[in-house]
């Protein structure tokens, strides 16, 4: 984390030079349904079924969206995939998220992967939506191109082959997602709300490294970057 090997994430690296990068940061689990609860509600991962899929979890938590909503913030969640997967929409609505954009809001012809739309398409929709909002607002954006099966990477962003690295598919997906991140920030820098915004960039979980270890702590190792131009 930090300056990436082989220049895979140059855009994230540039942002990290101007923000606060946490290099010793860890996810609470290995699924999005764990990460969302931890990031937005500070709730630890439990054994068994995720809390957002249990009956006991269908009540209000002390959540960041709710805290901000009570202080006059417009709250939204934008995802290029199925919002109802793992009861994400139901959980988030109960916990302070008012508006949603999901796969049903994108034309079917641009659904380019198993999960939904690519990161650049998602960011374009996000930018248009945020232009319609009045400050203050909290927008949660969840990308998906660098999620397995990693099939939505445009050819020109596939900079590595199997000869270069045994995990070339992952690295190419990271590189494209990083390009999309840079694309988003290039576009948003001209917006009136840019300098008044705190950006929090964090992964919801790590990935299975398929190591024969009792506890593979590196599979939980993720980046956290807090970036605020002003």
Strands 74-79 and 99-101: parallel
> What pTM value is reported for the model?
0.88
* Residue 76, strand partner residues: 99, 139
Angle at 47 between CA 86 and CA 54, to 5 degrees: 40
The closest of 134, 111, 147 to 30, measured between CA atoms, is 147
pLDDT tens, 63-90? 999 999 999 999 999 999 999 988 989 9
pLDDT tens, 91-147? 999 999 999 999 998 887 766 667 778 899 999 999 999 999 998 999 999 998 877
The closest of 142, 148, 135, 212 to 174, measured between CA atoms, is 148
Residues 6+ apart with CB under 8 A from 79: 88, 101, 102, 103, 116, 122, 141, 142, 144
Residue 222, judged by CB atoms within 10 A of its CB (0-12, 13-18, 19+), counts as: middle
């Amino acid at each position: 984390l930090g300056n990436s090997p082989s220049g895979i994430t140059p855009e994230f690296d540039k942002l990290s030079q101007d923000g606060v990068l946490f290099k010793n940061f860890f996810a609470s689990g290995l699924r999005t349904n764990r990460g969302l609860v931890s990031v937005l509600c500070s709730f630890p991962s439990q054994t068994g079924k995720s809390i957002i899929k249990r009956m006991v979890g269908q009540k209000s938590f002390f959540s960041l969206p709710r805290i901000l909503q009570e202080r006059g913030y417009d709250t939204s969640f934008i995802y290029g995939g199925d919002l109802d997967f793992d009861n994400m929409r139901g959980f988030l609505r109960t916990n302070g998220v008012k508006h949603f954009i999901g796969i049903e809001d994108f034309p079917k012809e641009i659904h380019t992967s198993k999960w939904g739309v690519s990161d650049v398409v998602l960011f374009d929709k996000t930018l248009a939506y945020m232009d319609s909002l009045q400050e203050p607002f909290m927008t949660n954006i969840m990308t998906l191109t660098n999620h397995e099966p990693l099939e939505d990477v445009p050819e020109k962003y596939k900079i590595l082959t199997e000869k270069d690295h045994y995990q070339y598919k992952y690295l190419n997906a990271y590189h494209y997602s990083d390009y999309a991140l840079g694309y988003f920030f290039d576009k948003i820098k001209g917006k009136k709300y840019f300098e008044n915004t705190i950006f929090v960039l964090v992964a919801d979980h790590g990935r299975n490294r398929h190591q024969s270890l009792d506890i593979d702590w590196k599979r939980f190792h993720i980046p956290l970057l807090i970036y605020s131009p002003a």
